[in-house]
Amino acid sequence: MGRPTWAEIDLNALAHNFRVIREHVGRNVRVMAAVKANAYGHGAVQCARILESEGVDWFGVALPEEGIELREAGISGPILCLGGFWKGQEAACLQHRLTPVVYRLDMIESLDHAAREAKVTAGVHVKIDTGMGRLGVRADHVSEFAQAAKQFTNIHVDGLMTHLAAADDETKQAFTGDQLRRFQKAVQVFRENSFAPTFIHAANSAATFAHSRRDENMVRPGGTLYGFTRDVLPGNVETPPLRPVMSLYSRIMLLKKVPQGEKLGYGCTFETNRDSLIATLPIGYDDGYRRALSNHGRVIVRGEFAPVVGRVSMDLTLIDVTDVPGVELDDQVTLLGADGDEAITAEEIAEAAGTISYEITCGISNRVPRIYCAS
């Protein structure tokens, strides 16, 4: 059996969310599912399999290693390596049919050399930095870059992309509009230099629902695939009917009566203000249950909310179950997900921890087993 702490991944919910996105963008727009970072903690291989069966067009990973994992698991659809590749990984990208994002001429040169040796043409997507400031060819350097890229005969620029910095913020629509205009100009420059990219894409989850597409013919949803809405989409967008995919559970390993005035946990940060019933859970911050939830988080036991008390430690967490009728040893505890009429979302946990929903599910560590189910 082992420790009773686990995450459940609802693959039916994932498939449902994909269908919602597909219906929203229409059949003429390709959907690239972001399954990087182990599908935001949900399990890249299992999520990719269900998405492939649903007809997803592309997969987005961060690293070639993530793409290779999908290939070795039998995933056959197109895979884009959003972070590009590192020197020495060119042959692996070709061997496993991974399409890298490129943003430096020396990257294209090394891939062109490897492709020439393998007697193939390598497809790439060129990233344009229109205002995020991370990766990409600066928008004001696109003309020189496009002219220089014409020399590489074993490279096919099959896509052009950018990433939007603030599409989730309705107060920054002007900035997002500037980004999209810079991107459209960059696309035009590449076409004027005799490139004919098949795929033009800028939209993350927020832009997929909040912005119309002009020349763009592909979207790259991430958080919305996994059911995140409140901290992903701008407030002026109607919330789509998405369903959370991950739930997180544990069980009570110890129940103890604690008198009023007793301090609990590291640092003595919590003191009981009444005679209390305190439960210990076998989950902590090494599992990804954030230390920031100390004295701030809450869980559900027997359909009732119970607060986290004291500091969340590496392997254990305390909760106050004084107000939970009939609570017993081994009772199931919901830390993320629904129980009866109550629910705790990744967005709620993120708000309590001072972060975003993405980090909550990405942070659930590998020592928490994932159980895949179709509800």
Distance CA 130, CA 329 (A): 55
Domains of the chain: 11-226 (3.20.20.10), 246-373 (2.40.37.10)
Residue range 253-306, pLDDT digits in tens:
999 999 999 999 999 999 999 999 999 999 999 999 999 999 999 999 999 999
**Beta partners for 156?**
123
pLDDT band of residue 346 (cuts 50, 70, 90) is very high
**From the candidates 36, 103, 249, 358, which is the catalytic residue?**
36
Distance CA 310, CA 287 (A): 17
Residue range 233-268, pLDDT digits in tens:
998 889 999 999 999 999 999 999 999 999 999 999
What distance, in Å, lies between the first and last C-alpha atoms of the chain? 22
Establish whether 249 is a catalytic residue. no
Establish whether 36 is a catalytic residue. yes
pLDDT for position 211: 84
Distance CA 113, CA 152 (A): 9
Inform me whether the pLDDT recorded for 375 exceeds 70.
Answer: no
**From the candidates 150, 256, 263, 266, which is the catalytic residue?**
266
Q: Give the global pTM.
A: 0.96
Give, for 278, the enclosing helix (H) or strand (E).
strand 276-281
Span 191-198, average pLDDT: 97
